[in-house]
Chain A
Amino acid sequence: MNGPAGATAAPPAVELRDAAMTYADGTQALQPVGLRVAPGEFLTLLGPSGCGKSTLLKMIAGLLRPSAGEVRLWGGTVDALEDADRRPAFVFQAPTLMPWASVRANVRLPLDLAGVPAAEAEARVHDALALVGLADSARALPRTLSGGMQMRVSIARSLVTRPQLLLMDEPFGALDEITRNKLDAELLALWQGRGLTVVFVTHSIQEAVFLSNRVVMMAARPGRVVDEVRIDEPYPRAPEFAVSERFSQHARLLQQSLLQASGGADAGAVRGAAARGERA
C-alpha cells in the first residue's frame, strides 16, 4: 500500500507557507494556505469552481508566483530545482497537445526542450506510450484520437521526464464517466507503480474519495482551504470500493463539509464538524 512515506525524515514534496494570491486589481483569488504534501502521497484538492484549486496548483508548479508566502518543492524553491525529475510535471484539464505534431512528437516535447539525446528520448517515449497503452498510436495525430486517448497522451508526456511529482488539474473532468473511471484506475496503478507524489484537482467528490490518501477541501469567494480529510483505505482500490458503504461514508463526510463551507460556515466550524465525523 502506498502512503506518505518518510514524512518526517525527507523534506516534503510540496510545502506551502502561507502562500496567497491577490491579483493586481485587488481580487483575492486565494487566502494564505499552509500545506505539506509528503513524498509518495496522493493528495486531492476538492472544491467548487472559483475556489482557487487551479491557482494553488499553478503556484505549486511555478506557473504563478504567490503574491505572499512561499512555495517549496523538495525543500527548495521551484526555480532552484536543477534535477529534471524533481521538477513537477503538469497535466492540464484539456489534453493540451500540439495538433500539428504526432503523438510521438507530443510526448517527446519535454525531452526535446531539455536537450535529451535522440536515442534516449525515443526509448523513453516508447516506454511512456506503452505505459498508457498507446504504443500503437505513436504516429497518429491528436485529432484522430478520442478524448480519453488524448488525455492518455497528455499523461504519457508528463511521465516521460520521469518526474517524482505529478500535478493534475481536473484532467478527466471533460470525459464521460466510464472513461473517467477507467483512467482513474490507471492513474492509481501508475502512482503505485512509480512511487509518484500526486497533487490532483477535481470537483468530483467520488473521484477524490476513490483516488486519494488525503483530500483538502476548498471554498470560494475568497478561495480558501476549509478542511482536510484522510481517506484511510487500502490500495489497490478495486472498482467495488466505489460502491461500498465505506466509500459512501467518506463521500458523505466530504459532501457535508463542502456544503457547510459553501453555506457560509467559517473554516474552523467546518473543521470541527469534520473532526467529529470520520476524520482520521
Chain B
Amino acid sequence: MSRPPRGGERAGRVRRVAYPLLVGLLFLAAWQGTVSVLGLPPYLVPSPALMVKTLAADWSTLGAALLVTVRITLLAFALATAIGVAISFLFVQSRLIEAAFFPFAVLLQVTPIVAVAPLVIIWVKDPGTAMVICAALVALFPVISNTTLGLRSVDPDLLSYFRLYRATRTQTLLRLRIPSALPYFFGGLRISSGLALIGAVVAEFVAGTGGTGAGLAYQIMQAGFQLDIPRMFAALFLISLTGMALFAAMAWFSRMALGSWHSSEALRD
C-alpha cells in the first residue's frame, strides 16, 4: 500500500541528505582552507580543487579504471550473495549441517585476503576471474551469517501455525522463512557490498594488473610510484564514492522491500 509521504517523513528524508551534505561541504572547505593558508605542496596534501581538476583531466584513464573496479565489485558481490544464500538455505535444513560447516565459513572470514589472494591468482589463470573470486571470498561471510540467522529467526507461533496446517518444507521456506529473513539479509548485503569493494581493491593490489584491465587500485599504485598525489586522491575519491553508492543502493533496496512493514524501515523518521 503506498500513500503520499507525510510532512514528517519528507522532513526526515531532507535531514538524511542535507545534514551529511553540509558536514561534507564544511570538511572540504576546511581542507581547502588549510591547504591554502599553510601553503601545503600538492605532493604532500593536494587541495580538493586540485583533486577535482585532476579527476577531470585524467577522466579517460580514471573513468575506465573505475568501470573495471566496479565490474569486479559487482560480480563478486553477486557471486557472494548467490553462494551465501545457497549455503544459508543448506544450513537451515539441519543443525548438523550447520554445525559441521559453519566453522569453515568462519575460517574464510578470519583468513586475511592478502594472504589468500596470491594463491587464487596463481590457481586461476584469468586475472579478472581471480580478482572476482578474491573479492567474493571477502564479501561472503556476512551474507551467510545474516541470512542463516534470519532464516532461523522465525516467530515460533507462526511456525507452529504452519505446522498446524501441515505446511510442506517448501511452503514454510517460501512463505515464512524467506520473508522473515529479509531484514537480516539486507543487513548482510549492506556490509557485504562494502566488503566486495574492499576485496576488489585488495585483489587488484595483489594482482598488480596493468593495461586495459587496470582498476583503481592499480591507478593508486601507479600514482604512488610517480608521486602524483592529486591523482592518487582522485582515485581514492572514486573508490569512496563507489562504496557510498553501493551502500545507498542497498539501503534503497532494503527500503523498497521492507519499508511497508518492517520497523527498521517503516518507523524511520
Instruction: Give the shortest distance, in Å, between A178 (CB) and chain B (any CB).
Output: 25
Measured CA separation A147–B188 after assembly (Å): 32
A149 CB-CB contact with B under 8 Å: no
A243 CB-CB contact with B under 8 Å: no
Return the contact of A96 from the options B161, B166, B171 (Cβ within 8 A): B161
Q: Mark B162-206, 1 if CB is under 8 A from A, else 0.
A: 111111000100011001001000000000000000000000000
Return the contact of A90 from the options B164, B167, B171, B260 (Cβ within 8 A): B164
Return the contact of B261 from the options A110, A112, A143 (Cβ within 8 A): A143
Residues of A within 8 A of B261 (CB): 99-100, 141-143
Residues of B within 8 A of A92 (CB): 157, 160-161
Contact indicator B179/A100 (Cβ below 8 Å): yes
Residues of A within 8 A of B260 (CB): 100, 141
- Per DSSP, are chain A's interface residues mostly helix, strand or loop, or mixed? loop
Residues of A within 8 A of B1 (CB): 102, 139-141, 144
A80 CB-CB contact with B under 8 Å: no
B244 CB-CB contact with A under 8 Å: no
B269 CB-CB contact with A under 8 Å: no
A113 CB-CB contact with B under 8 Å: yes
Contact indicator B160/A98 (Cβ below 8 Å): no
Chain A residues touching B, range:
20 to 34
Residues of A within 8 A of B157 (CB): 92, 94, 96
Return the contact of B160 from the options A63, A109, A112, A141 (Cβ within 8 A): A63
* Max count, chain A CB within 10 A of own CB: residue among B155, B164, B167, B176: B164
Contact indicator B171/A113 (Cβ below 8 Å): yes
B53 CB-CB contact with A under 8 Å: no
B266 CB-CB contact with A under 8 Å: yes
Measured CA separation A140–B261 after assembly (Å): 11
Return the contact of B165 from the options A58, A96, A114, A143 (Cβ within 8 A): A114
Return the contact of B158 from the options A98, A144, A161 (Cβ within 8 A): A98
Contact indicator B175/A109 (Cβ below 8 Å): yes
Residues of A within 8 A of B175 (CB): 98, 109, 112-113
Known contacts A113-B175, A141-B1; 18 additional CB pairs below 8 A are A63-B164, A87-B164, A88-B164, A90-B160, A92-B157, A96-B155, A96-B161, A98-B175, A98-B176, A98-B179, A99-B261, A100-B182, A100-B262, A112-B175, A113-B166, A114-B165, A139-B1, A161-B165
Q: Which 3 A-B pairs have the closest CB atoms?
A: A96-B157, A113-B165, A92-B157
Which B residues are within 8 Å of any A CB, using their own CB? 1, 155, 157-158, 160-167, 171, 175-176, 179, 182, 260-262, 266
